[in-house]
Amino acid sequence: MPRTPDALVATLRALRIAIEEAGWQTAEVELPSYPGGKRPSATVTLTGGGERGCGESVAWTVAAQERFAVAAVPLGGWRLGEWADAVLQRFHDPYERAALEAAAIDLALRQAGTSLLGLAGVAATPVHYVVSFDKTADPIARMAGAGEYKIDVDPEWPDATWAALGASGRVAVLDFKGQGSAERAHRAVPDALIEDPGDAPWSPSLARRVSFDIPVTSTRALDGLPAVPTAVNLKPARMGGVLEALGCAARCAERGIAVYIGGMFEVGVGRRQLRALAALLSPDGPNDIAPLVPEERPARLAVDPARPGFG
């Protein structure tokens, strides 16, 4: 059984899949935490052999969701890898490819009667996660309840705010989105990962806590980073699919780079699939995949390896 990401990619690509029909359904999900209150969402459904696989598109507008060309989805019997290669030729949007590939993995696993963890031959470990929120004038006020946080940073926060964040002991990741100096933040919260800090040079201490997110669009993109980071935030939707994310995880393992899983405001099956991927790659990492409803946030997220499918 494959026990490394690169071996799992080969095993997934070799799975047989039979697709008889493809469907695409758009929606707007009411979500108070989303800007504007409604998150555009779309689900691709692939059916075959009495089974159904699903994947979620994270495109940001209804118009983008409605441009999906369902008639171009390859049907018939395939090896999963060959099917993914055909999708790559027909669909150029990474969000569409990621949704299609997730649905195909889900369907192929169900047709094979196994799960992602089962195929990988690893035991399920409950998944650690962080709660994230966007830039705010008072981040301490947003840190309600237990658990750890990933916080979008305002580099202009006063020293008192940084001191309070450091004293909280609950900040796992500070996300700079490439803006502003991170040195003051690092001094105040030295154990936090500093995600996408502003331009180097960084102090040696900060350099040991750097993580990258936005630039990590593919495995090849790792070689273009300005420095070898401590960790990277893997987002399958940004990378065009799970297979590329797994390939990137394998490359990170070779280079001694930790990984954690991040979302792009998935509101349906995509969020459950991220949970399965985190259970495989980074069960103890600062995975940005918290349940959207605060009342539904357990200490850790359970994943059932006996349940066929992907998530």
Where do the domains of the chain lie, and which CATH numbers do they carry?
Answer: 5-113 (3.30.390.10), 130-296 (3.20.20.120)
Question: Which pLDDT belongs to residue 37?
Answer: 86
Q: pLDDT tens digit string along 228-240? A: 999 999 999 999 9
Q: Is the pLDDT of residue 2 over 70?
A: no
Q: Is the pLDDT of residue 169 over 90?
A: yes
Q: Which residues 6+ apart lie within 8 Å of 9 measured at CB?
A: 243, 246, 247, 250
Among 182, 115, 125, residue whose Cα is nearest residue 151:
182
Q: pLDDT tens digit string along 86-102? A: 999 999 999 999 999 99
Q: pLDDT tens digit string along 24-59? A: 999 999 888 788 889 999 999 999 999 999 999 999
